[in-house]
Amino acid sequence: MGKPDYKAYSPESYPLKDIDELNIVVLRTEWNDDVVGKIHKSCIKTLKDSGINKKQIHQHTVPGSFELPMGVKMILTSTVKADAIICLGCVIQGETKHDDYINHTIARSINNLNLVSGTPVIFGVLTTNTKEQALARAGGERGDKGHESAMAALKMISLKEQLSTKSKKISF
């Protein structure tokens, strides 16, 4: 597996109507700060490099990855306008199976929040066996989860904008 191609946001490929009016929330964890700090920094840099200014990026912190879904719910039910919410965290396998329970729970919960809210909620959580694997995915030779998460948010906002211009009735 080679290093991903880190392209900047492309308005030609993923047009955004009013990029100056977007509000993106970056929700990060305190746990594994050495890893999460790297993906957080990369995420913010990618957003800024893509034309999102500092005032459009709202940053919040929760204790650990398990608290990310509740943090998202709090944001979604608050007065904060969020065109996308990026969740950044890192769960590293330990001596017990706690990581399995946490990873499955937060992945399922973030997926549900995506579907119910209609707001893109990006899963930028590293789930690795070792700290070395996490660092390799935090801007090392195995990828850059922060960059990838920021790009996913921008692409999902673009998709939502493109599809909202079309009127279509669906019966369930």
Residue 163 within any structural domain of the chain: no
Phi, psi of 72 (to 5 degrees): -60, -45
Return the H-helix or E-strand segment holding 23.
none
Residue 67 lies inside a defined structural domain of this protein: yes
Q: Is residue 71 assigned to a domain?
A: yes
Q: In which order are the strands placed within the sheet that holds 84-92?
A: 57-62, 24-29, 84-92, 121-128
Q: What is the DSSP string of 82-124?
A: -SEEEEEEEEE--SSSHHHHHHHHHHHHHHHHHHHH-S-EEEE
pLDDT digits (tens, 9 = 90+) for 24-41: 999 999 999 999 999 999
Number of H helices, E strands in the chain: 5, 6
Whole-model pTM: value is 0.89
* Any domain includes 170: no
Active site residue 40: no
Range of the domain at 65: 26-157
If one counts the domains in the chain, the total is 1
Backbone φ and ψ for 81, nearest 5 degrees, come out as -85, 120
What is the average pLDDT across 136-158? 92
Residue 108 lies in a domain: yes
169 within a domain of the structure (yes/no): no
Catalytic residue among 40, 58, 60, 98: 98
Looking at residue 146, which CATH number applies to its domain?
A: 3.40.50.960
The answer to whether position 8 is within a domain reads no
The answer to whether position 78 is within a domain reads yes
Tens of pLDDT along 72-106? 999 999 999 999 999 999 999 876 677 778 889 99
Whether 124 and 146 have beta carbons less than 8 Å apart is answered as: yes
